[in-house]
């Protein structure tokens, strides 16, 4: 066991976040931490890491257990390049490398047996700690998180907020603490990078606790779910889907107990009313006693989710449009001589639900704006509603109420207040300025406006980005019942699977269409990759005879190169063993010139051996791709 939390509680003033919460973290365990916005997830992270103390209970870490936390703004003022900043987690290795280089320079001008032995000791420690691979590992993680080769040399100061977050994710992943705490790590990642992170976390030997609203991600990586619900911390074995099933069963039990106790409360309330009507001293005492009985029942009564206030959302498509909802042909877009996409064609029928996916920066949001700004692309009778992930269609200086009042002047104040109440904006809340709202609250205002418009074609740009799990599910259910047409950009794979009838995906600046949901898209891509490899080995319908002969000749040539490379590796490894044996002879240790020469030769052989091994791997990969 790495960590145990026992009966921990935390409040801010009168606001109770959670109480008497207990859970354990085992080595290698991958845990999803979920709950509504503001329930205390980030605060729980701070308690685990030791940044804050719990009001009650305690957290015990095993001896020597290290905890790494994803820091959102740690590198914001760094003057290093993206690659250098990521490398900074290997401070010990960089220091060892510098010491070894300094000693080698010193040995070029003088003989010193102690220095020679020190250099050898440092080299062994350097290799043991992964010194031979730390640079390549750093580069691989940065590329996996979506950085391009050229971006690695960009100054951190010039990176976007999302890119800086990715650098911090890279640093935490590379540091490999015993427990990693990741707060919304997928927020700034595109689907390809999230897929890479899925695999990295699943293969990680570190225990990982992830705060996330990405349900597909939680299904992929989690073997345990910890939820903060109604001030309680509950643990569930399994991934998110299994959690939903267990939670549903538990919720039924909670609902039954709630209904039974509320029936008893209502029965006692009837007795109290009766006693008050009689209004004698004895009756008043009885009423007071019965009220205390009600208070005891309600004190520990858990309220089921169905009885709690939550966002209510429904979309209605007002007015019928023609069958051809959208026809856009030959679309292109370029910025500063960089082509985002070209010759893009999109056709949608009434009732279609299509999702656009692709890497960050490929032009997904730009394409949506290009479409919504050109109504000529839309069919007869189509009215377009647009959801902007950044809330650019909201005026930050307006109040929530004045925003809707200006957007819908034909509606009464009562109608607007009723609509806002469905999105949990009640009483004086409606007069809060939009600038003061959180991302999730702004999203709710935008969704309220979208609901009131009743358009029959919705264009949605990352609609789930700032919503918690409960709100995402409410939005999904509302869109599932919507009978209009939907074109959306999203990296929420669970959301896509729930709604999608078709996928548009970017490849080489083109937009390709696939019928089905996200899982179907992944399945087709994997099948396509397999088919490409198979076609290279077949005759009819695949490669012609001449091409097959050329491929076979290339494979033979590569195999000959591999055999030669293996022979060279064998010779170098034998030479390395011989030199290491000579270095271990006590008599040689006294001969500075001989030791220096042998050490230099050994370094050269190791460098050459690494190059030969890399060459062997590249050649082998080429052969595999051709077979």
Query: Are 389 and 262 in a shared domain?
Result: no
At which residue do the structure tokens 């730390």 appear? 134
CA-to-CA distance for 234 and 368, rounded, in angstroms?
41
Does residue 271 lie within any of the structural domains? yes
Query: Are 521 and 432 in a shared domain?
Result: yes
pLDDT at 601: 82
Does residue 303 lie within any of the structural domains? yes
CA-to-CA distance for 325 and 278, rounded, in angstroms?
70
pLDDT at 260: 92
* Among 250-264, 304-318, 576-590, 592-606, the range of highest mean pLDDT: 250-264
**β partners of residue 181:** 69, 209
With beta carbons less than 8 A apart as the criterion, state whether 496 and 518 touch: yes
Closest Cα partner for 179 from 9, 391, 60, 26?
A: 26
pLDDT at 541: 44
Residue, of 589 and 279, whose pLDDT is higher: 279
pLDDT at 542 exceeding the cut of 60: no
Query: Are 382 and 470 in a shared domain?
Result: yes
pLDDT at 582: 75
φ, ψ for residue 75, nearest 5 deg: -105, 15
pLDDT at 506 exceeding the cut of 90: no
**Which helix or strand (DSSP H or E) is residue 98 part of?**
helix 91-107
CA-to-CA distance for 18 and 38, rounded, in angstroms?
11
Number of domains in the chain: 4
Work out whether the CA dihedral 370, 376, 378, 383 comes out positive or negative: positive
With beta carbons less than 8 A apart as the criterion, state whether 230 and 303 touch: yes
- The two tokens of residue 610 are 């690494």
Largest CA distance in the chain: 112
Please state the rounded mean pLDDT for residues 516-540.
70
Residue-wise pLDDT tens digits, 337-380: 788 888 899 999 999 999 999 888 788 999 999 999 998 999 99
Does residue 169 lie within any of the structural domains? no
pLDDT at 370: 93
Does residue 90 lie within any of the structural domains? no
Does residue 154 lie within any of the structural domains? no
Does residue 78 lie within any of the structural domains? no
Residue-wise pLDDT tens digits, 208-244: 999 999 999 999 999 999 999 888 899 999 999 999 9
Query: Are 249 and 195 in a shared domain?
Result: no
Q: pLDDT band at residue 549, thresholds of 50, 70 and 90?
A: low
Q: pLDDT band at residue 74, thresholds of 50, 70 and 90?
A: low
CA-to-CA distance for 467 and 470, rounded, in angstroms?
8
Query: Are 513 and 556 in a shared domain?
Result: no
With beta carbons less than 8 A apart as the criterion, state whether 79 and 158 touch: no
pLDDT at 625: 58
pLDDT at 518 exceeding the cut of 60: yes
Does residue 134 lie within any of the structural domains? no
At which of 496, 528, 560 does a domain end? 528
Query: Are 482 and 557 in a shared domain?
Result: no
CA-to-CA distance for 98 and 102, rounded, in angstroms?
6
Q: Can you list the alpha helix ranges (DSSP code H) found in 234-344?
A: 240-278, 281-299
pLDDT at 247: 87
Query: Are 358 and 443 in a shared domain?
Result: yes
Going by their DSSP bridges, the two strands 457-461 and 179-183 should be labelled as: unpaired
With beta carbons less than 8 A apart as the criterion, state whether 497 and 220 touch: no
Q: pLDDT band at residue 487, thresholds of 50, 70 and 90?
A: very high
* Among 50-64, 527-541, 568-582, the range of highest mean pLDDT: 50-64
pLDDT at 30: 96
Query: Are 295 and 335 in a shared domain?
Result: no
Query: Are 376 and 474 in a shared domain?
Result: yes
Residue, of 396 and 582, whose pLDDT is higher: 396
Going by their DSSP bridges, the two strands 353-357 and 338-349 should be labelled as: unpaired
CA-to-CA distance for 392 and 505, rounded, in angstroms?
25
Query: Are 431 and 512 in a shared domain?
Result: yes
At which residue do the structure tokens 């904006």 appear? 425
Work out whether the CA dihedral 377, 383, 388, 391 comes out positive or negative: positive
At which of 257, 273, 307 does a domain end? 307
* Lowest model confidence (mean pLDDT) among 86-95, 186-195, 471-480: 186-195
Closest Cα partner for 178 from 145, 206, 146?
A: 206
pLDDT at 583: 66
Residue, of 73 and 415, whose pLDDT is higher: 415
Residue, of 528 and 262, whose pLDDT is higher: 262
Burial class (CB in 10 A: 0-12, 13-18, 19+), 535: exposed
Closest Cα partner for 226 from 78, 46, 379, 29?
A: 29
At which of 223, 238, 253 does a domain end? 238
Query: Are 404 and 475 in a shared domain?
Result: yes
pLDDT at 592: 52
Residue-wise pLDDT tens digits, 424-468: 888 898 999 999 988 888 999 999 999 999 999 999 999 998 888
pLDDT at 589: 52
Helix (H, G, I), strand (E, B) or coil at 349: strand
At which residue do the structure tokens 């082509």 appear? 339
Residue 401's CB is within 10 A of a number of other CB atoms, namely 17
Q: Which domain holds residue 610?
A: 545-626
Does residue 129 lie within any of the structural domains? no
Angle, in degrees to the nearest 10, between helices 439-453 and 413-422? 130
pLDDT at 493 exceeding the cut of 80: yes
Domain harbouring 371, CATH code:
3.40.50.300
With beta carbons less than 8 A apart as the criterion, state whether 566 and 616 touch: yes
- Residue-averaged pLDDT of the chain: 86
Query: Are 467 and 569 in a shared domain?
Result: no
pLDDT at 539: 44
pLDDT at 480 exceeding the cut of 50: yes
Residues of the chain with pLDDT > 90, as a percent, come to 47
């Amino acid at each position: 066991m790495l960590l145990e939390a026992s009966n921990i509680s935390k409040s801010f003033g009168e606001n109770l976040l959670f109480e008497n919460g207990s859970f354990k973290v085992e080595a290698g365990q991958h845990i999803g931490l979920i709950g509504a916005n503001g329930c205390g997830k980030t605060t729980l992270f701070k308690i685990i890491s030791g940044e804050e103390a719990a009001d009650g209970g305690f957290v015990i870490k095993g001896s020597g257990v290290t905890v790494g936390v994803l820091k959102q703004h740690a590198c914001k003022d760094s003057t290093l390049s993206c690659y250098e900043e990521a490398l900074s987690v290997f401070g010990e290795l960089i220091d060892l490398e510098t010491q070894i280089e300094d000693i080698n320079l010193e040995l070029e001008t003088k003989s010193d047996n102690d220095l020679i032995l020190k250099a050898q000791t440092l080299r062994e420690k350097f290799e043991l700690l992964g010194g031979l691979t730390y640079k390549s590992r750093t580069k691989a993680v940065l590329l996996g998180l979506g950085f391009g080769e050229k971006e690695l040399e960009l100054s951190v100061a010039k990176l976007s907020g999302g890119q800086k977050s990715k650098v911090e994710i890279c640093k935490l992943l590379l540091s490999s603490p015993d427990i990693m705490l990741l707060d919304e790590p997928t927020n700034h990642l595109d689907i390809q990078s999230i897929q890479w992170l899925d695999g990295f976390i699943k293969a990680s030997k570190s225990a990982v606790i992830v705060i996330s609203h990405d349900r597909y991600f939680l299904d992929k990586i989690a073997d345990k779910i910890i939820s903060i619900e109604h001030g309680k911390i509950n643990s569930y074995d399994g991934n998110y889907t299994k959690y939903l099933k267990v939670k549903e069963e538990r919720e039924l039990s909670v609902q039954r107990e709630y209904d039974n106790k509320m029936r008893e409360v209502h029965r006692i309330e009837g007795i109290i009313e009766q006693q008050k009507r009689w209004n004698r001293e004895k009756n008043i005492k009885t009423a007071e006693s019965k009220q205390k009985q009600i208070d005891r029942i309600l004190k520990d009564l858990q309220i089921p989710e169905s009885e709690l206030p939550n966002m209510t959302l429904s979309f209605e498509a007002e007015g019928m449009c023609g069958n051809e909802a959208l026809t856009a042909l030959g679309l292109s877009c370029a910025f500063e001589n960089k082509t985002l996409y070209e010759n893009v064609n999109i056709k949608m029928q009434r009732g279609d639900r299509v999702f656009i996916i692709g890497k960050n920066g490929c032009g997904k949001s730009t394409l949506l704006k290009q479409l919504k700004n050109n109504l000529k692309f839309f069919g007869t009778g189509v009215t377009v509603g647009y959801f902007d992930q950044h809330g650019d269609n909201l005026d930050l200086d307006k109040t929530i109420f004045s925003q809707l009042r200006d957007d819908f002047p034909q509606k009464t104040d009562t109608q607007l207040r009723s609509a806002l109440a469905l999105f949990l904006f009640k009483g004086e809340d409606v007069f809060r300025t939009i600038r003061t709202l959180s991302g999730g609250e702004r999203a709710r205002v935008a969704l309220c406006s979208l609901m009131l418009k009743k358009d029959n074609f919705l264009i949605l740009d990352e609609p789930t980005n700032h919503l918690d799990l409960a709100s995402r599910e409410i939005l999904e259910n509302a869109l599932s019942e919507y009978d209009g047409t939907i074109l959306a950009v999203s990296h929420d794979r669970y959301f896509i699977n729930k709604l999608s009838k078709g996928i548009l995906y970017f490849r080489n600046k083109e937009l390709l269409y696939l019928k089905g949901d996200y899982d179907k898209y992944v399945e087709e891509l994997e099948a396509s990759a397999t088919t490409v490899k198979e076609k290279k080995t077949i005759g009819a319908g695949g490669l012609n005879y001449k091409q097959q002969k050329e491929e076979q000749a290339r494979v033979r040539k590569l195999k000959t190169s591999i055999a030669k490379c293996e022979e060279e590796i064998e010779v170098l490894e034998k030479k390395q063993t011989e030199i290491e044996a000579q270095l271990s002879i006590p008599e040689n240790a006294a001969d500075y010139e001989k030791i220096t020469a042998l050490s230099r030769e050994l370094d050269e052989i190791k460098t050459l051996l690494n190059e030969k091994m890399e060459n062997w791997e590249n050649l082998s990969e080429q052969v595999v791709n051709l077979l």
